[in-house]
Amino acid sequence: MLSLSRFRMLILMATAVLSNSYLGAIVTRMVNTNSMKGVCIPYLNCYSCPSALFSCPIGIMQHFMAIRAVPYMLIGFLGVVGLSVGRMACGWLCPFGLVQDLLYKIRSRKYLVPKNLKYLKYGILVVFVLLLPFFTGVSWFSLFCPAGKLTAGLPWMLWDPVDPVTGATIIPGPPGALFYFVTGLLFVFLIWFVFSKRPFCVGFCPLGAIFALFNRISLVRLQVDINCDGCKTCNAKCPMGLDVPVEVSGEECIRCMECTRCGHVKLVNPFEIGGLQRDEQRRTG
């Protein structure tokens, strides 16, 4: 029987393949620009990836900030996803989350991500996604996004395609200092992923920051049984390194359901007043 962890991994892998499956890029040697690129998905997916089929919500938000317009459709989309499942997309759909989960499986000494790091992603959301694009017209987060470097920046440089119509190199000249800086930043993250559970999700992902705001009110919720015996099995299974009995309904839970393998953690009916009251009492002590 397929385990929950393997099933979730398969879903994450399928999402990564589906998101970047435009094979026409190999023929045209250009970034895919067909109509599907206007469709937003609830996880990080670099628009500049040659084979990308969809748009990244953070990229869209930066674009609207740069042109000083309100992305009403994007806000509605993120609101529906957040109210429905909270950060569940982080646990079940995000390809960069898959990279973190796979690298963490490498045998090595493991280290906890500092708890206070979780506040940094809100600052990144406000400064690099909203304020800087608004005042400068530049998509600053995209310039430094390690997920974008992995799926777009490095593939473009390694491929170094030539336009089949003009015969000219699409990327003129050698890479600059910014390319090498962000590439170095990417490798720092990749190494970090080996030693810690999802540090990018914890402290650096602005999309995770958006969905985290909905976690306490989303329809999909988890609850620790009142008869929990403190075995800590749920903590060992959590890919975010949470103290599940305390943080199961908090902002950092990505609703991956790994903790439900313990038996004392379960999905809760959000309309069950008593269940939610017990959940609130457990969080507040």
List, for residues 113-125, the tens digit of each pLDDT value. 999 999 999 999 9
Task: Answer yes or no: is pLDDT of 273 > 50.
Answer: no
Which residues, 6+ apart, have CB-to-CB distance to 34 below 8 Å? Answer: 22, 24
What pLDDT, on a 0 to 100 scale, did the predictor assign at position 17?
93
Rounded CA separation 95/91 (Å): 10
Beta bridge mates, 40? 55
Amino acid at 153: G
Task: Answer yes or no: is pLDDT of 61 > 80.
Answer: yes
Domain interval for residue 238: 221-284
Task: Kindly state the percentage of the chain with pLDDT values over 70.
Answer: 92
Phi, psi for 256 (deg, rounded to 5): -75, -15
Task: Kindly state the percentage of the chain with pLDDT values over 90.
Answer: 66
What pLDDT, on a 0 to 100 scale, did the predictor assign at position 251?
95
**Whether residue 165 is found in the same domain as residue 56:** yes
Domain total of the chain: 2
**Whether residue 205 is found in the same domain as residue 229:** no
Q: Where does a domain end: 180, 212, 244?
A: 212
**Whether residue 200 is found in the same domain as residue 227:** no
**Whether residue 259 is found in the same domain as residue 229:** yes
Cβ(182)–Cβ(149) below 8 Å: yes
DSSP classification of residue 263: S
> Which of residues 190 and 282 earns the better pLDDT score?
190
Going by pLDDT thresholds of 50, 70 and 90, the confidence category of residue 156 is confident
**Whether residue 138 is found in the same domain as residue 24:** yes
**Whether residue 173 is found in the same domain as residue 251:** no
Tokens of 89: 């997309």
**Whether residue 203 is found in the same domain as residue 254:** no
Determine the average pLDDT of the residues in 73-85: 96
Rounded CA separation 87/113 (Å): 19
**Whether residue 160 is found in the same domain as residue 274:** no
What pLDDT, on a 0 to 100 scale, did the predictor assign at position 197?
97
Nearest one of 64, 66, 206 to 132, comparing CA atoms: 66
Kindly provide the b/e burial profile for residues 222-244, where b requires at least 16 CB atoms within 10 angstroms of the residue's own CB: bbbeeebeeeebbbebbbbbbeb
> Which of residues 115 and 270 earns the better pLDDT score?
115
Rounded CA separation 49/129 (Å): 19
Tokens of 92: 């079940």
